[in-house]
Structure 1
């Protein structure tokens, strides 16, 4: 049976709560929790069999879905929101008294109450019809709801419409021809947009964004299966919006053909991942050679007691990159019996941290560890480390209290075990132990920035002489931050090696540095601005996850496909195309690989803290998502 989202009254204080529930579930809750007399149970079963309650459920479902549709947001003299609230409250009281009150209920009284309630629903539906007619007579609104275009949602919508016409035609009796005509208009719109999606101009981007908004709006309506009368009112509005966009496309094309507006041709500037060769698996590190040697000595030499060694520095300076180099340094690997890596961040889950460490230091599969209770988990961790020389890397620790929260679980057997912190704050290492060693990671010099930029862009090739001057200027503008260099290098790597194109990047960097003291976030935003249209929503979707969360690539790709972010290509599955998008984002240094399969494919990934902050900021600015 279909499950509807029902708002019901929980008690006499008129507290409303949202819960997924079905008539069958309510039957079970009522009969098992309250154990009513058989007479009432018999009446209740008869009541369900009559189908009356299902009618009520369907009407409640429509009202709640209507609240998610655009027309209810438009003000009008006959706005139905007050009437909807009243009938929902009445429904909640009815259901509460029927299912959650112990007093014996008489069938005639319940039947009369339901009849009155359904009559009130008819009055509300009349108000909704009147409101929709008023809204339909207003000037068609194509104001953007988000600033992020995802054209492939139209492909997903066309699939939904085809499915509706072929498999669920009985739900649109009398509207089949209108829906078919509407489907043809969408196909025409999709075809018209196909030729301009690769050209960059504000007018063209605005049309893409409007198309995305309308596609999401239509898809919502189609997939909530509203009554036919509601579709009859809404389809003409959608048709009007689509025709306005088609007119805008034709006008824009005409202006392009006559030279009234100029556009930048995206493919000329872009270089595909395939042309650049396979993804480089090793991080390129510049400027840390001496630090790596120094800290490696601290790890394998020094006192026998368990010692805390910290690497601190500003965000994006390369702390985690250096820690990974040390973690995999042959002399370090040889020296320690056990090694483990965990990420703490500002918000962390203690159990997850222990699970990560235990999976590294003990031969347990994930399922076995997951089934352990907290006490068993801690005991297994302690036993796996005791009498062994271990190295635990605690990445991105913000506060010494985090260390104090679980320090007792790491034994000190005076055998040279080490805890390695990476942190933004010097005092974390200083307060963690009287014997801790604190290492500051400085920013890069201009020369080191230029070396890193060259190695990231040209790999083993030499920089063309005509790009050396402007390249050095770009490197200097990165202000010594390795992450900024790496991200900007990924931008340069994706455009043609032309001096005028590099000058555009240099000019953009110079302007943001002079305009705002918080320059680094704007430097990083250039990488987002240079993304092709189809990759922008894919990147912003990472804001759905938690900071430092390690994301399953399989689940991520399925989410992208479900959201309509992935283009349908002949001869390729949606997952294959989604994986290509992910690799492109990795190539652009916006996404980090955390694990690979035995065949070398990306298994899990995450986002650097600074890029995650940027992702959230842009997503909220552009109404892509909101965090509450």
Structure 2
């Protein structure tokens, strides 16, 4: 009932808004406070007879009652009124709510200085301010140990909270009417004594509660509770009676707590809460035990050992946070930068780095030992697989850490003990990873798929659908398939992800003329990760070599090769190899395809130009173009409306959407699926046109992800870096390659300049159809390049996931600085600001741990 009244008062206040008269606002706040107290105290009934008896004693004594006895009786009456409340609370949750209410009201009483306010407290407020401060510290402790089941502590806190509520209640002018000032003063002093852990039995109770929590991890701990508990510990640490022989150790503990508080704002703190929980419990045990009158029983407190443990855990929290914000993709040239900087910094700042000089020299030796391995990765001497990429990322991540620690030494950001622990661990981590690489002998590792007979049921779907555009390309390919040389001809269709390669190949594979021209046909999907055996099984299954799948699976790989060769021999065959990522897949199969001058044909689709040139026999590869604007609009209309006509109201916005797809069939098909399911209004379609990526990004990401994952390690940061550029931006190649070099993406190789190596990286990305050649120079080399909007969206999303870079768009009308300086993601290494120059200067004044800023 009372809660309903409070809610109603709040609704009245909300409805009135900013126009509420000051007197009305004050009255509503007062009523809300009073009703909250009534809700808390509504159960105070069973001790009423004791209160009545005390009143009778006081009345019988009359005017002759001694002053001290009168004060004592009044105090007892008020205390008994709250005793009944002890039995109404059943859990720490209820107790915490009561504590919050009392603490909030006390805070309000301290804030009001207007004498006309109903919440105004006349006279000095020191007593209630002292109670407020002590109650806040107790509240911090209670919130931290809320999982505790300690009955005595629960009863103790309940009593304290009840007294605190009584103090707040009596200080309200409408209750005291100026007559309770002296009794309130006595009550406040009594309450302070109850809250402060001065009494040995109370301190022992605090220790017992913490010991009970020490035995297991409580996952419900929250960051704000951590901060409050540290505040309570610091307060009690300052109040300790310190012996001279432990003064320096107490100072060290105070430093640890200050250091922890300073780093509670770190990112992803949730991941470190278990470590923090352990540190704070040990710190609390230590602080509450540093009293000679506390009996700990079998518990022993090792002050130096505890401080060392706290140091270690805090260091791990700081390091984990740094590592959690590291990019997961690194440039192979970053180690070169760090080695150069290490030598320069040790020469330039010998005094600042003296504390860790020996360790830095050891680090330098370890990183120099990694150079041959990283060079071999840059030259692609290793097969592509996750284990290698993880090892490379981990080792270069250590170089980031070294750079950060050196910077922290120079800036005095962290204490020396923390930095020494960090560097020693970096050395151990590098050595452990190098040993693991050597043990695995990664040069010889290969990735293979399980031996199964793969069937691609999706290939046959939509075989009768109309193909929009590519009429000339279909004609050219049909001619190459059914005419020309009698020799075996390998025909390649090349294009970027989503260009329509498979759709076109499917159209040809099921074309009636093509089907009738060949004796037998078979197809298989190769994919980035394949096995020769798996491909052979798929092709043989398509050719119906055996009705019994088990008999095929029982054959050796060489037997499968022979079987395929024999069935194709002397026949005119048509083989479709869809989605070939690497020329090695062709090398594994080429001996199975006889060339008996029967006009046999192999149609191959690939995203990689190099694959197409590697397999070329007679015909040149067909590089699939983008759809024209007209073809894009025709395809969109077909997918959305079928044989129906498009409403004139949707023509303009629909054409705008088609244009934004930039001629990529995949984009058009996906956005058509979105449009066909939504209401066909100009307003709805305009929303799609405004932010196309958000509607189709999740579906395109999976398709482009395959190309990204298949990239050699050194090209991954290069492609993600395109996420720093704007849509449709034509990027100068010289500028781009120098940026790559400056970011440490380019690994130095003997006998070649960094600029030439970087240009070779770009040419590789172009050959993989991930980057487009926008303009050539007079000598035929690429002068500028660009990236498709679909790939740009992927690069931005993936770069953010990998902590590689972050885009921040600042609106020109936004005058606040918080848009740039307070974002959690500023811990990332690379920041792209889309804003005016003055905003960049403003952001820079706040400082942020990023390595590079582009705007």
TM-score tier, shorter chain, comes to: 0.3 to 0.5
Instruction: Tell which structure's C-alpha radius of gyration is larger.
Output: 2
TM-score after normalising by structure 2: 0.30
The structure, 1 or 2, with the larger RCO (C-alpha pairs under 8 Å, 6+ apart) is: 1
